[in-house]
Structure formats: C-alpha cells, structure tokens
Structure 1
C-alpha cells in the first residue's frame, strides 16, 4: 500500500488532495424522472461561496452550440421557459442541478455574468439528450476494486497503443485532464512546462500516464504542443476512459497497485472561478 507521502508525490503535479472518496463533481445535466435520456445543456458547474460557476462546456452539446458560455462565467439565475427566474445565490449544487432537470427539447433560460465582469445577459438553450457525454460526476471506483484492464490509451507522440493489461505487475498512476479543464492546464503547466520543471516521478516507482479525456485525440495533441509540455508520458483515453474509470471530476488522479487494483483516487485542487481567464488553445467548447 502507498503511504501518504508517496501518494502526495504521485499527484503533486496537479496540486491535488489525497482522498479515498472524493466529492462528486457536479454537472448541469440530470435524468428526467419519467424518461431515460440525460436532459441537459452540457455544462459542468461548481459552487463557490454560494454562487454557481461554469467549470467546463462540453463539446457537441446545446451550450457549446450556442457558443457564448465559457469557463469562469457565473450563472446567477435559471428559469424554465418563460417562468420567473430562480436565483442561485446561497444554493448548493444539488439545488442548482435540480433547476436544470427537464425534458429533452424544453427551453431553459440562464442569467449569466461573464468571467470578464460584463453586465448580466440572458442565454436561451434547449435541453438535449447527451447521455454519452455524462462522463464526470460519478461515484468513483472504490479502493480495492479491480481497475478496468482492457481500457486502451494512445500515446500522443508515437500513436502507440497501451493497455493496463500490458502493465500487469507495475504500479500505475493515471492523471486525467482535458483541454477544457483550466485547473488541469495550470497544474500541468507548473509541472511539465519546461524540462527543468519536470517532477521526479521515479520517487513513487510507478508508471505515470497523463491521460487526456478530450473528445478528439487531435485536440489533446494540439494542447500539448501549443503549451510546450515536455518530459511526461502524455496519452489519450477519450470518453471511454472517463466512463470506465467513473471519474468524479477533473483534474483527477487514480493510483493502481501492482496487482491491478485501485489504491487511491485523488480529486485535484478546486477551480478558482475568480482567477483571470486562461487561453486554453483549442478548447472543447
């Protein structure tokens, strides 16, 4: 078993907090009680100081197609169609998410303050069926559970395929990230932004993979190249890796022991919605 010092060394590149049961990342997506589809708009939301902030806009969703929502925007109120808006001030994430629930094809209005501090604006969206994109905010695989052995990753540099089954007998640290996750980008910038910054991963005697869950491998490659990340083993897992590992949020690190079982799950540092917006290159919006 890894001790706390080794775990911290394993995740220091993301500035995460060690926890066996990380809190669930919340999304503006939910199942309607009387239909199986996931009816939502495709935005991950986080509460901070009683306010709701956009963390990430998922690709190929109503929010990304509308085009104006971006990471860091504050959603101050939500309304069903032409109904009176309900303010989000002081509400928890459960309450915020419940305001999003509804049928596919129904309209929702968001009152938004942009990350750059512009005046309030109203965005109209139609809920869509986005089941395949509900990949975060899940209950993570429990400690001691067998890691999915058949999940395959593609190396972003060589395009070679790698599976967990091929690493049997080796401790593996998976650091999950995406182009649309600003805390992920900041953490990797700090750890892999230049050759002199590369962390000493050998301190944990593990194979460390930095796994992109971008919807397209080209997006991940462009991000790695444009940000000048070096020294790490960057791979792409996409939606399938997110689903198989039941990621609770991003950034997220999963430690797998030499016997192929989950040793720990680490949810990264909280998103600071008040920080300056960062150009993420070819983002997933």
Structure 2
C-alpha cells in the first residue's frame, strides 16, 4: 500500500501540480491518495468530489481533526486515517453507509462508538490509540457487521456488559494484543463465527469455556499472559478447540506451509517438566 500511495502522489506532483492534481485524478478514478503529504487539514477541494469518491487515503499526515464535511462522501467505501493525530472522529461519519474499511490506527482516539457506520463496516483498525478502561458504550463498540477488528496496543482492561458480544455475529477475527485485559466474559462465546483471537501480552489467567464450545475458534494466541497450557487443558471444550486447530495445521502442511505448533503460543507445561 505504501508503494502505490507514494507512486500515485509522485505522478500527481509531476504532471498535475501536487495535491490539486491528485484530487483532480481522484475525481476521475474514484480513488484519492493523499498519504504522507504533511497535511494539517483536509483540502477543501476533496469535499467537492462528493459521491464520486470510493476510496480516500489520508494516512501519514498531521491531521488533528476531520470536519463534518466528511459526510458528503456518501459513496465512500474505504477510509484510511492511519498515523495522524486525531483525537476524535466527526459524527457525520456514521452516515457513510457504504463504508466497509476504516483504518484509524496510530492516532489519539479515545471514543468512537457513536460515530461508526453500522451498515457495511467489515474491517476496523483502532490499534495504537488511547482507548482505556472497560470497552463498551459510549467509548467503543463494534458495528454488528464487523468481521475483522483490531483493538491492540491500547489501555483496555476488559469489556463492559454493554459491549454487545451477542450482536457480533459476523466477527471472525479480534485482536486485543498488548492491552491490560484481565478477564474475558462468557459472553465472548456469543460471537459464534469467531475463528481467531489474538490476546497476547495481557493479564489473562483463564479463558471462558464458551470460547471453545460455542465459537469456531481455531487460532488463539495467549503468550505474555499468566495463563498456562495446564489451565487451558482443564477448561471444558478445550478438546473441541484442539480438534479444529489440528485440522487447520494439517491443512497448512498439505499446502506446504509451516504452522506454529505451540499451543496458543504458550510453552507446554508437560514438556517443560520433563526437560532437565
């Protein structure tokens, strides 16, 4: 992505006159790349593109806010805001009903629940932000159509009852690496399509049996937590997880891959005991 963005901007610089040229090209193609342009605000001509724009990349700038005019981009499908200085997102974002990808990692966000569009948003990256405490309304909740959610590298300690796991029937991958999550509630099992949970470097001493028995999880990463393989083995439903995991490993081997054979990234207690 970085190479294509750089190429697009370099071409615009040479032939069309920098940002204005890129905007003109974006109006024709529906794809506007203004990454790494040292922008402190979104150029006014961007909003004039209105429903012609399908993809907007503003990553790697110095934006501290977006204006309410983001709402005029009614056909926007992909919005990249990574690596800026955003502390909040405008309410008008919720009206972008076609948006399926929102990348807002490496910012200063601490609340977004009320502004995330709920119709089609499938991929959401909020890693490396300023979310803290228990996750739930009004600070952070996920739209029900979300399939991939990255909440890693924040200061999240857990999930409030209002988080709404039961609504996340489309969620397949959840990344909460490098937070301070102390427990996962049994309601995590309500995410029945969940296949991958990354929860490395937290404070988990156990996981609920529902995550094994009620979801489709086959990849669980827990290294950097107090939990041990021994505790996992005693958790009801662990055998179901291991069966799914073995199936994925065998499939990977048949495709020439070399899957990680460790159990959830943890050292096996039995192996550790027999080693001198």
Taking CA–CA contacts closer than 8 Å with sequence separation of 6 or more, which of the two structures ends up with the larger relative contact order?
1
Q: TM-score if structure 1 supplies the norm length?
A: 0.22
The structure with the greater share of residues assigned to helix is 2
Which structure is larger by alpha-carbon Rg, 1 or 2?
A: 2
Structure with a larger share of its residues in strand:
1
